[in-house]
Amino acid sequence: MSGTFVGMPAFPKAAHEAVGNTTLRANLRHATHTIRDKRAKAVAELDDWALLREAGKQIKDHTLRHLDTYLVQLEETVTAAGGTVHWAADADEANRIVTHLVKETGECEVVKVKSMATQEIGLNEALEEAGIAAYETDLAELIVQLGHDRPSHILVPAIHRNRGEIRDIFTKEMGEWGRPAPEGLTDTPAELAEAARLHLREKFLRAKVGISGANFMVAETGTLVVVESEGNGRMCLTLPETLISVVGIEKIIPTWRDLEVFLQTLPRSSTAERMNPYTSMWTGTTDTDGPRAFHLVLIDNGRTDTLADEVGRQALRCIRCSACLNVCPVYERAGGHAYGSVYPGPIGAILSPQLRGTASEIDASLPYASSLCGACYEVCPVAIDIPEVLVHLRERVVQGGPATRQGNRVVLKPAKGHAAERAAMRAAGWAFVHPGALRAGQRMASRTRRFHPRTLPGPGRAWSATRDLPQVPAEPFRDWWQRTHGKKESGK
Ligand code: SF4
């Protein structure tokens, strides 16, 4: 994924620093509680929410099972409609393709629709290196870009900023990028929105190239769909002469009928709206309206490896609504930056380690960035069992590194670190398949319980400093069972 977050410290360190920032915590608490309460009311209005949720899950699972078929179908329908499809195995290849396409137009600036996929591959940085300026047009992304900041939320990337901070950023930075902020700008929402509108308008009218992602791609017609709240996306999708859409391969759905489900669940889960304010759909190009050239860049970037994992693949169902972030007690306190990825919160904790592997410190720590309370699963509109995947990924971190394919087999590479934990788990695994040794060990532990330490030595000391070690019983359970029930356990 993107180099933007390379070198981030492990989650516990980054989160420790973030929780000390009281302004950040207040901003996050206010924003997440407001959105989560509104979402709960919007969802409660629908009697068939559970059925919609199940339908969304099944559509996504079906599509992922037949991804190869639907991707080929999509390529055919997009091409038939006048578009060109490009395939990118990873971030570097995707960036090379997009940079080349922009250079071919002779332009040195582009306007962008809010897009997680382009952030994931670090497209803005790649374009900048090639001398191409990429202007974010979503209000929150604009705040992040002008503030030389990183996004901290999927839907509201500047959720960590309050109105006063936004006014200061606009006043200081807008002039460096184009039309300056109006004199005497206050922090009222209407004035801030007007300043952004005026600043962006000249860019929309000048730009010859637009870059977007997509929320969905309909295989049967080759139609791409972007849902957004501001209308800036629609300007980028319709005004420029060339449109380049960079989309993850998992965003495909088979038919228009399937879209019906997600256009009900996504707005309610993300912005608590019954219907999305701006839903833009386009199919290839037309001679009379919209872009004259359309390129679709389909990115893998770790998705087929994720698909190979039977438990972890459910993360690819995600429709990026961010409901799981808004209910997560860990996200609410630590904020999005601590996750070291464009995908923060619970979904980031299961998606980033799968897309990037668990070799780095930050990625190996992400599966532990959760209390496993399960609130994320409860609200997820496509029923991703995030706690299940977190536990699965913890196992991967402890037992071995990232899963990779060798022929038809998924194999685990040895992980860095956690050697003691891995050794302890292997010893436990051995004991559980050797009942005689387990019984002898339990009896020995019961007999020597008076001499057991109250704290763990070495690196385990930090763990036991805030916890009571479990007491070993005076009599092992198996012996108690035999004594009180008078028979041996079966098979022993
Ligand atoms: S995991 Fe579920 S709740 Fe979280 S962003 Fe994705 S779809 Fe929404």
Q: Which of 32, 60, 216, 269 to mutate to test the pocket of ligand 1 (most atoms within 8 A of CB)?
A: 269
Q: What pLDDT score was predicted for residue 214?
A: 98
Ligand 1 in reach of 299 Cβ (< 6 A): no
- pLDDT band for position 139 (cuts 50, 70, 90): very high
Return the residue matching tokens 């339908």: 55
- CA dist 419 → 11, 178, 360 (Å): 19, 53, 15
Mean predicted confidence (pLDDT) in 21-47: 92
Q: What is the pTM of this model?
A: 0.83
For every residue of 352-394, DSSP letters joined together read: HHHHH-S-SHHHHHGGGS-----HHHHH-TT---HHHHHHHHH
Tokens of 249: 């391969």
Residue 492 is predicted with a pLDDT of 44
With CA atoms as reference, report the closest residue to 55 among 281, 252, 320, 264: 264
Question: Which protein residue's CA is at the shortest distance from atom 3 of ligand 1?
Answer: 380
Ligand 1 binding pocket includes 321 (Cβ within 6 Å): yes
What are 92-129's pLDDT values in tens digits? 999 999 999 999 999 999 999 999 999 999 999 999 99
Q: In the predicted model, is pLDDT for residue 3 greater than 50? A: no
- What number does the ligand 1 atom closest to the CA of 320 have? 5
Q: Two tokens at 466?
A: 């805030």
User: Atom of ligand 1 at shortest distance to CA of 270?
Assistant: 8
Ligand 1 geometric centre to CA of 342 (Å): 14
Ligand 1 atom nearest 376 alpha carbon: 3
Dump pLDDT digits (tens) for 173-201: 999 999 999 999 999 999 999 999 999 99
The dihedral formed by the CA atoms of 84, 89, 93 and 95, expressed in degrees to the nearest 10: 70
Q: Whose C-alpha lies nearest to ligand 1, atom 4?
A: 324
CATH of domain 46-299: 3.40.50.10420
Residue pair 53/265 in contact by the 8 Å Cβ criterion = yes
Residue 420 banded pLDDT, cuts 50, 70, 90: confident
Q: For ligand 1, atom 8, name the residue with the nearest CA.
A: 321
Distance 444 CA to ligand 1 centre (A): 48
What average pLDDT does this structure show over 308-322? 97
Q: Which residue did the predictor score with more confidence, 214 or 290? A: 214
Over the stretch 464-482, which tens digit does the pLDDT of each residue have?
887 888 889 999 998 999 9
pLDDT-based confidence at 399, cuts 50/70/90?
confident
Best residue among 253, 268, 355, 384 to mutate for probing ligand 1, ranked by most atoms within 8 Å of CB: 384
Q: In this predicted model, which residue has the larger pLDDT, 137 or 489?
A: 137
Instruction: Give CB contacts under 8 A, 24+ apart, made by 439-447.
Output: 439/476, 439/478, 439/492, 442/476, 442/477, 442/478, 443/476, 443/479, 445/472, 445/476, 446/472, 446/473, 446/474, 446/475, 446/476
Predicted local confidence at residue 243, as pLDDT: 98
Specify the DSSP class assigned to residue 451.
G
> 152 or 417: which carries more pLDDT confidence?
152
Mean pLDDT for 420-438 is 86
What are the pLDDT digits (tens) for 123-138? 999 999 999 999 999 9
What is the per-residue pLDDT for 407?
A: 54
Query: Which atom of ligand 1 sits closest to the CA of residue 154?
Result: 5
Answer whether 390 contacts ligand 1 (Cβ < 6 A): no
Share of the chain above pLDDT 90, in %: 73
pLDDT at residue 315, rounded to an integer:
98
C-alpha 377 – ligand 1 centre gap (Å): 8
Residue (of 130, 155, 135) closest to 145 by Cα position? 135
Longest dimension (CA), the chain: 88
Q: pLDDT class for 8, splitting at 50, 70, 90? A: low
Mean pLDDT of 376-399: 94
Q: Which phi-psi region, left, alpha or beta, contains residue 383 (left: φ > 0; alpha: ψ -120 to 50)?
A: left
Residue 270 Cα to ligand 1 midpoint, Å, equals 9
**Residue 348 in tokens:** 């980031």
Whether residue 491 is predicted with pLDDT greater than 50 in this model: the reply is: no
Q: Is 350 close to ligand 1, i.e. is its CB under 6 Å away? A: no
pLDDT for res 132: 97
Indicate the top mutation candidate among 347, 352, 355, 366 to test ligand 1's pocket, ranked by most ligand atoms within 8 A of CB: 347
Question: Where are the domains positioned within the chain?
Answer: 46-299, 434-490
What digits encode the pLDDT tens for the residues 226-252?
A: 999 999 999 999 999 999 999 999 999
Confidence of residue 488 (pLDDT cuts 50, 70, 90): low
220 close to 255: Cβ distance less than 8 angstroms: yes
Calculate mean pLDDT across residues 296-323.
97
Question: Is the model's pLDDT at 221 over the cut of 80?
Answer: yes
- 459 Cα: distance to centroid of ligand 1 (angstroms): 35
320 alpha carbon – ligand 1 mean position (Å)? 5
> Is the distance from the beta carbon of residue 323 to the nearest atom of ligand 1 less than 6 Å?
yes
Q: How confident is the model at residue 359 (pLDDT cuts 50, 70, 90)?
A: confident
391 Cα distance to chain centroid: 17
Note the pLDDT tens digit of each residue in 430-449.
999 999 999 999 999 999 99
Mean pLDDT of the chain: 91
- Tokens in use for 251? 């965003």
Q: For residue 88, is pLDDT > 50?
A: yes
Query: For 121, phi and psi rounded to 5 degrees?
Result: -90, 0
For ligand 1, atom 7, name the residue with the nearest CA. 318
Residue 265: Cβ-neighbour burial (10 angstroms; 0-12, 13-18, 19+): buried
Query: For residue 189, what are the contacts with CB-CB under 8 A and spacing of at least 6?
Result: 163
Residue range 340-353: average pLDDT?
Answer: 95
Pocket test for ligand 1, best of 324, 325, 355, 379 (most atoms within 8 A of CB): 324
